Amino acid sequence: MIKLIVGNKGSGKTKTLINMANDAVKNSTGNVVVVEKGLKLTYDIDHAARLVDTEEYQVSGFSCLYGFLAGLMAGNYDITNIFVDATLKIGGQDKNALAEMVDRLAGLAQEHKVELVFTVSCDLSELPDVLKGYAI
């Protein structure tokens, strides 16, 4: 399952993601991973979650982000939740490329029973129609 937390800058997307990640840590029977650009959430996310900094692994662009997330799932079958903050800062501003990545990840997420949650900093109207169904 894939969910997008969509909103303009300052609308509380990251706070929502933090709450969702911390709830997942409490309720999950597997591993929770939080992917971010820079280590800004270190003190906000429960220590039981795995924090991953995309800058450390030089992840940029949506195809690279797809490969990175697929690699996480391939390397650890116990992952139940992956949260990605600042998706457009990692992947770029091309919303159609975002849609393509989400479409590719949807099958993997279903197959591996992983919930993926992304924060997307833009207005909902700016997203391609195919992504609007993922917005929460």
What pLDDT shows up at residue 96?
97
Beginning with the edge strand found earlier in the chain, give each strand of the sheet holding 115-121 in spatial order: 2-7, 115-121, 79-84, 31-36, 50-53
Query: For the whole model, what pTM was predicted?
Result: 0.95
What SS3 class is residue 52? strand
> What pLDDT, in 10s, does the model give residues 65-92?
999 999 999 999 999 999 999 999 999 9
Q: Which of 105, 109, 98 is nearest to 132 (CA)?
A: 98
Distance CA 49, CA 34 (A): 7
> What pLDDT, in 10s, does the model give residues 90-115?
999 999 999 999 999 999 999 999 99
What phi, psi does 79 have (nearest 5°)?
Answer: -70, 125
What pLDDT shows up at residue 3?
97
